[in-house]
Structure 1
């Protein structure tokens, strides 16, 4: 079984997602990026766009505006200025 990435997506209103997933794609200010388990640490600002969360063949999509993404040895945390699940938009 492949290693999982711990991912948290937080907006000022609430935590929208927290769990172990296969991959996350996000809209970085310098270009879109994807993160898998074991990714090298980095931090970047986010632009408006979609965060896609992949897990066991399922994809959840969140619309975000602004914020930061922080990749560490523990996983990926996105602190978004505004975020909603695409189905809620």
Structure 2
């Protein structure tokens, strides 16, 4: 089991995620990047895409984000999205 770290996904409307996770895959401006505990400090822009979160309990969650910034530290990762929604909350009729 991988070491867990604090992850937060925040949009202007609300805090979507704030929990301990094993990994997060972020659609960075220069390609996808996987963040795990003890990652080197990085601040990067994110492009529209899917953020995949593997929780400390082993569950996988996915969120659609529409741009923003990721602040990555060895102790955690905060993703500030311009807009974000859980994939499970998307209604095909709204597309």
The question of a shared fold, defined as TM-score above 0.5 by the shorter chain, is answered with yes
What is the CA deviation profile of residues 1-52 of structure 1, one whole-angstrom value per residue up to 9, with x for unaligned ones?
6421110000000000001010000100111000000000001000010000
1:28 is matched with 28
Runs of 4 or more above 2 Å deviation: none
Bigger-Rg structure (1/2): 2
The TM-score with structure 1 as length reference comes to: 0.94
* Gap runs ≥5 in structure 2: 91-95
Greater strand share, structure number: 1
Q: Point out where structure 1 has 5 or more consecutive residues left out of the alignment.
A: none
Distance 1:59 1:74 in 2: 20
The alignment of Structure 1 onto Structure 2 pairs a total of residues equal to 89
TM-score normalised by L of structure 2: 0.89
**RMSD (CA atoms):** 1.1
